[in-house]
């Protein structure tokens, strides 16, 4: 009994088993059978049964024997009962308890479960004891190529700049295969390109897509669909395959300059167009997009500068030609202008600086319109003396037909002053019909109409006439004066300061002269002192004024202006004698005193008449 061991025999499979013969060769060395059995069993427990892996090909539905358990205790009399436990035991795997043959009843899928851990046991039917300790062994499911590779991380998209050099990495595609990568070539993948050449290629082992064309032009095609195939079994024809599509977008670089489609653009604009009017639009094509397609336009006016200007429409990138100065068909009927377009952003990696610009010509024709007459001045200002006689020529307006026809012009006055002035309808001369008075109206405003003969085209102009002053008004006192003299006044004192006004308006300003009326007898009571500032003072010449002696005095004064010829006026002042209060104040001065004096004289006269009648 102590010299036996368990032998496991595997049928139908190329499995090599190591028999534990070394245990049988142990000598007793004086040990009893039980002691030797303990040593042997102890050695087996420590080491356990040594099993090589069993292999079962997956996806095989045929029931078959995949191996056999055999103990050296088994003498063929069926005294040993074999049992199997562990993963799949009784369901997938069964063991013949008499022969120890292991049967499989179902097909296996390695991708679901790659191996099964089982335990085998040999039991003595008579004693019920295990003749061997329970031993663990593994049944490995052998892979077959039953899975196709699959791409992960789909969909694949990538963008690279156009004109990228050959070998530029685009993107890496990755596929996986559920088969066993450690068994044969079932999961060994190779990549190839089905669509996208010759512009792109793929590295067979890594799936890295690179450019394979010297210069890929976005303007030729902006998007490329690159179809990549992956095969297992290192690409043999019997293997599985899968495909994926990579969308490659080319981003723009500035490798195109603007280009005009025509050598000459012709526009027409009427001469009456206002400044700021759009003359026309030009467009230089640029195959690039975005910032690379933006451009600026400039004008090189070969005949006259500053008549037009150009600006870029930010939405369409068109050049808008705009009128910058008024036009006149009669003076200039055609403009020839060079226009240039240049990229706003220049990248000399792809083009030279001169390739980022283009040039063409503009011809702008000015169209004639029937314009109203044009006056020689925006307004007229004339001067005329206020004493100019009727028929005096005041001034002349000039107007012409601005069109090439040069039709005759007829003039007229359109205002309420046409009864004061008259205009010659043919030559535009304006003359007086009535005398003028500057003091009544210093300015005369006329509206003159110019009209083309035979047409309704007309225009108007303002005429301002300044009436020049002549010395035709005498100077007068600036107000009514009521001078008085106090009874106790001294000789040489000023009793009144007077000033004058004049309706005229001399260019050098007013200057009045005050003087006494020439007389053989010098006035003994009062005199005039000219202050040389357009005022004068009335002064006393004596100091013996009393209310009892005389109530009123009269003083004539001459006021002369500085006109040419000079005009003068004479004013007689009535000076009353007053019993003044303190500080020279007269409670009844001026006209009040005069009225009182006249009233007393009248009352005295009435009394005398009554006395005479009573006699």
pLDDT recorded at residue 593? 43
pLDDT recorded at residue 250? 96
Q: Is the pTM of this model over 0.75?
A: no
pLDDT at 575 over 70: yes
pLDDT recorded at residue 304? 65
Average pLDDT, the chain: 83
Domain 54-142, CATH among 2.60.40.60, 3.30.70.20, 2.40.50.220, 3.20.20.100: 2.60.40.60
pLDDT at 12 over 70: no
Q: What is the CATH number of domain 150-251?
A: 2.60.40.60
Q: What is the mean pLDDT of residues 274-303?
A: 90
- Which stretch of 228-232, 268-272, 405-409, 573-577 has the lowest confidence by average pLDDT? 405-409
Distance CA(362)–CA(322), nearest Å, equals 12
Distance CA(243)–CA(53), nearest Å, equals 37
pLDDT at 89 over 80: yes
Distance CA(565)–CA(199), nearest Å, equals 109
Q: What is the mean pLDDT of residues 470-478?
A: 91
pLDDT at 15 over 60: no
Confidence of residue 573 (pLDDT cuts 50, 70, 90): very high
pLDDT recorded at residue 521? 62
pLDDT at 41 over 50: no
Asked whether the domain spanning 476-578 has the same topology as the one spanning 259-366, the reply is: yes
pLDDT at 11 over 70: no
Select from 319, 312, 355 the least CA-distant residue to 337: 319
pLDDT recorded at residue 339? 94
Distance CA(569)–CA(503), nearest Å, equals 13
pLDDT recorded at residue 606? 38
Tokens of 614: 């009573």
- Which stretch of 10-14, 111-115, 427-431 has the lowest confidence by average pLDDT? 10-14
259-366: CATH homologous superfamily?
Answer: Cadherins (2.60.40.60)
For the segment 374-389, what is each residue's pLDDT rounded down to a tens digit? Answer: 999 999 999 999 899 9
pLDDT recorded at residue 314? 92
pLDDT at 584 over 80: no
Confidence of residue 360 (pLDDT cuts 50, 70, 90): very high
Q: What is the mean pLDDT of residues 544-573?
A: 91
CATH topology of domain 374-468: Immunoglobulin-like (2.60.40)
For the segment 589-609, what is each residue's pLDDT rounded down to a tens digit? Answer: 544 444 444 444 444 443 333
Which residues, 6+ apart, have CB-to-CB distance to 85 below 8 Å?
A: 118, 119, 121, 134
pLDDT recorded at residue 305? 64
Top-confidence residue, 114 or 225: 225
**Sign of the CA dihedral with 72 first, then 76, 81, and 82 last:** positive
pLDDT at 90 over 50: yes
For the segment 504-558, what is each residue's pLDDT rounded down to a tens digit? Answer: 888 788 899 999 988 756 888 999 999 999 999 999 999 889 988 899 999 999 9
Residue 76 neighbours by CB distance under 10 Å:
8
pLDDT recorded at residue 303? 63
- The residue whose two tokens read 């403009």 is 335
Top-confidence residue, 159 or 49: 159
Q: What is the mean pLDDT of residues 154-177?
A: 95
476-578: CATH homologous superfamily?
Answer: Cadherins (2.60.40.60)
- The residue whose two tokens read 């010098």 is 522
Confidence of residue 281 (pLDDT cuts 50, 70, 90): very high
pLDDT at 615 over 50: no
Tokens of 561: 């202006």
Distance CA(577)–CA(484), nearest Å, equals 6
pLDDT recorded at residue 535? 95
Residue 555 neighbours by CB distance under 10 Å:
19
Q: What is the mean pLDDT of residues 490-517?
A: 91
Q: What is the mean pLDDT of residues 406-414?
A: 90
Select from 101, 176, 104, 184 the least CA-distant residue to 142: 184
The structural domains of the chain, with segments of one domain joined by +, span: 54-142, 150-251, 259-366, 374-468, 476-578
Residue 227 neighbours by CB distance under 10 Å:
13
Q: What is the mean pLDDT of residues 407-418?
A: 86
Report the percentage of the chain scoring pLDDT > 70.
86
pLDDT at 24 over 60: no
Confidence of residue 416 (pLDDT cuts 50, 70, 90): confident
CA atoms lying within 13 Å on the CB side of residue 556? 9
Based on DSSP, count helices (H) and strands (E) in the chain, helices before strands. Answer: 3, 42
């Amino acid at each position: 009994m102590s010299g036996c061991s368990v032998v496991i025999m595997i049928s139908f499979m190329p499995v090599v088993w190591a028999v534990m013969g070394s245990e049988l060769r142990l000598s007793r060395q004086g040990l009893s059978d039980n002691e030797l059995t303990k040593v042997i069993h102890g050695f087996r427990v420590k080491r356990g049964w040594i099993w090589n892996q069993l292999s079962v090909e997956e996806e095989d539905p045929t029931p078959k024997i995949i191996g056999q358990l055999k103990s050296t205790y088994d003498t063929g009399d069926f005294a040993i009962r074999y049992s199997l436990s562990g993963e799949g035991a009784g369901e997938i795997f069964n063991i013949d308890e008499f022969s120890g043959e292991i049967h499989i009843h179902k097909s296996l899928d390695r991708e679901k479960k790659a191996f099964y851990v089982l335990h085998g046991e040999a039991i003595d039917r008579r004693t019920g004891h295990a003749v061997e300790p329970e031993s663990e062994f593994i049944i490995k499911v052998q892979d077959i190529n039953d899975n196709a590779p699959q791409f992960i991380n789909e969909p694949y998209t990538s963008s690279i700049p156009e004109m990228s050099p050959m070998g530029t990495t685009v993107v890496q595609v990755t596929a996986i295969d559920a088969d066993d990568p450690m068994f044969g070539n079932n999961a060994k993948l190779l990549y190839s390109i089905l669509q996208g050449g010759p512009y792109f290629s793929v590295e067979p082992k890594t799936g890295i897509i690179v450019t394979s064309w010297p210069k890929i032009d976005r303007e030729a095609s902006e998007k490329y669909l690159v179809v990549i195939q992956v095969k297992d079994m290192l690409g043999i024809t019997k293997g599985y395959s899968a495909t994926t599509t990579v969308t490659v977008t080319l981003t723009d670089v500035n490798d195109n300059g603007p280009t005009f489609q025509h050598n000459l653009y012709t526009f027409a604009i009427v001469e009456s167009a206002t400044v700021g009017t759009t003359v026309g639009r030009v467009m230089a094509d640029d195959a690039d997009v975005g910032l690379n397609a933006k451009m600026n336009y400039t004008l090189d006016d070969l005949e006259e500068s500053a008549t037009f200007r150009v600006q870029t429409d930010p939405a369409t990138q068109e050049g808008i030609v705009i009128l910058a100065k008024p036009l006149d068909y009669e003076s200039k009927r055609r403009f020839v202008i060079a226009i240039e377009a240049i990229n706003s952003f220049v990248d000399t990696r792809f083009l030279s600086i001169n390739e980022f610009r283009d040039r063409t010509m503009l011809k702008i024709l000015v169209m004639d319109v029937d314009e109203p007459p044009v006056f020689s001045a925006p307004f007229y200002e004339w001067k005329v003396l206020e004493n100019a006689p009727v028929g005096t020529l005041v001034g002349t307006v000039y107007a012409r037909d601005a069109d090439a026809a040069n039709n005759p012009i007829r003039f007229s006055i359109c205002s309420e002053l046409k009864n004061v002035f008259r205009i010659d309808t043919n030559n535009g001369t304006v003359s007086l019909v009535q005398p003028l008075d500057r003091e009544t109206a210093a300015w005369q405003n006329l509206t003159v109409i110019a009209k083309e003969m035979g047409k309704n085209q007309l225009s108007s102009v303002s005429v301002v006439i300044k009436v020049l002053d002549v010395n035709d008004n005498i100077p007068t006192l600036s107000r009514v004066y009521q001078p008085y003299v106090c009874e106790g006044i001294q000789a040489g004192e000023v009793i009144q300061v007077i000033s004058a006004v004049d309706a005229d308006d001399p260019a050098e300003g007013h200057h009045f002269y005050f003087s006494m009326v020439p007389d053989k007898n010098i006035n003994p009571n009062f005199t005039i002192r000219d202050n040389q500032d357009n005022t004068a003072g009335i002064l006393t010449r004596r100091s013996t004024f009393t209310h009892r002696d005389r109530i009123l005095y009269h003083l004539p004064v001459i006021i002369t202006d500085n006109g040419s010829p000079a005009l003068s006026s004479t004013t007689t002042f009535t000076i009353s004698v007053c019993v003044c209060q303190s500080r020279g104040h007269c409670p009844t001065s001026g006209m009040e005193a005069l009225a009182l004096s006249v009233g007393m004289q009248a009352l005295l006269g009435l009394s005398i008449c009554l006395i005479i009648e009573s006699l």
